Amino acid sequence: MLPEIAEVALRSVAISGAATLLALSWSLPLAYYVAERSSKTIATISEALVGVPTTLIGLLLYFILRNEGPLGFLQLLYTPYAIVVGEAILVTPLLVAVTYRVLANAIATYGELALSLGASRSQAMELAFTTSLPSLAAAAIMAFSRAVGEIGVALIVGGNIRGYTRTMTTAIALEVAKGEFWTALELGLILVSLTVVVSLAVRLVKGLWEL
C-alpha cells in the first residue's frame, strides 16, 4: 500500500507541477501585457473565472479530446498529459489575476523609472520581473496548491487509471466510494502535508536565491 501511495503522490506532484509551469508560460506574458497597458478588462475576466468549477473544465476538455472531438486525433484523453493541460487551464485565471496586480505595481514603481532613465523596454520588463520574483513565486505556489487539490479534471479526462493517471484526489474519491473513509482521510492528510512540504521547499529555495 505504501509504495502505491508514494507513486500516486509523486505522480500528483509531477502532474500539478507541470501544469503550473505550463500555465506560467502563458499567464506571465499575458499579465505583463495587461499591466503594461493598464487594461483591466482581462484582469477582471480572470478574477471572475477563478471560481469556475473544475468539473466544468474537465467536461469541456473531455468533449474536445474524445475521439469525436476536434483534438481527438491527438489521443490525449485518459493520459497524464490531458490532466496537465486541464489543470493548466484551471489555474490560468488565478495566475493572471494575481500576477497582474504584482506586475502592475512593479511597473509603476520600477519600470517607468527605468524607462525614464534610458532603459529599453526589455530591460524595464526584466527589472519588473526580477523585483517581483518573491510575489510571483507565491502566486506559483497558490496555483500549484489549486492544481494538486482539484479532482474534476483529473477524474474526467484522466480516468483514475491505476498506475497511470491516478492522483491523490482521485484516489481519495475512490476510497470514499468503497466506503474506506479512514483510508480516504489518511490520503487527505498526506495530500495536505504534501502541499505544505512543496510550499516550504519553494520558499526555502527562494530564500537561498535571495542571499
* Domain boundaries defined on the chain: 2-210
Taking the model in full, what pTM does it have?
0.90
Q: Give the pLDDT confidence score for residue 153 in this predicted structure.
A: 95
What confidence tier does 98 reach under pLDDT thresholds 50, 70, 90?
very high
Average pLDDT over residues 117-144: 84
pLDDT, tens digit (0-9, with 9 covering 90-100), for 13-62: 999 999 999 999 999 999 988 888 877 788 888 888 988 999 999 999 99
> Which option is the CATH number for 2-210: 3.40.50.300, 1.10.110.30, 1.10.3720.10, 3.40.50.2300?
1.10.3720.10
Residue 135 has pLDDT above 80, yes or no: yes
Q: Which long-range contacts (CB under 8 A, 24 or more apart) does 40-48 make?
A: 42/96, 42/100, 43/96, 43/97, 43/100, 43/101, 45/93, 46/92, 46/93, 46/94, 46/96, 46/97, 46/100, 47/93, 47/97, 48/93
Q: Give the pLDDT confidence score for residue 45 in this predicted structure.
A: 87
Rounded CA-CA distance 62/153 in Å is 9
pLDDT, tens digit (0-9, with 9 covering 90-100), for 149-193: 999 999 999 999 999 999 999 999 999 999 989 888 988 998 888
> How many angstroms separate the Cα of 210 from the Cα of each of 17, 205, 207?
22, 9, 5
Q: Give the pLDDT confidence score for residue 69 in this predicted structure.
A: 92
What confidence tier does 211 reach under pLDDT thresholds 50, 70, 90?
low
What confidence tier does 86 reach under pLDDT thresholds 50, 70, 90?
very high
Residue 109 has pLDDT above 90, yes or no: no
Residue 83 has pLDDT above 90, yes or no: yes
Q: Give the pLDDT confidence score for residue 113 in this predicted structure.
A: 73
Looking at mean pLDDT, say which of 6-10, 117-121, 206-210 comes out highest.
6-10
What confidence tier does 210 reach under pLDDT thresholds 50, 70, 90?
low
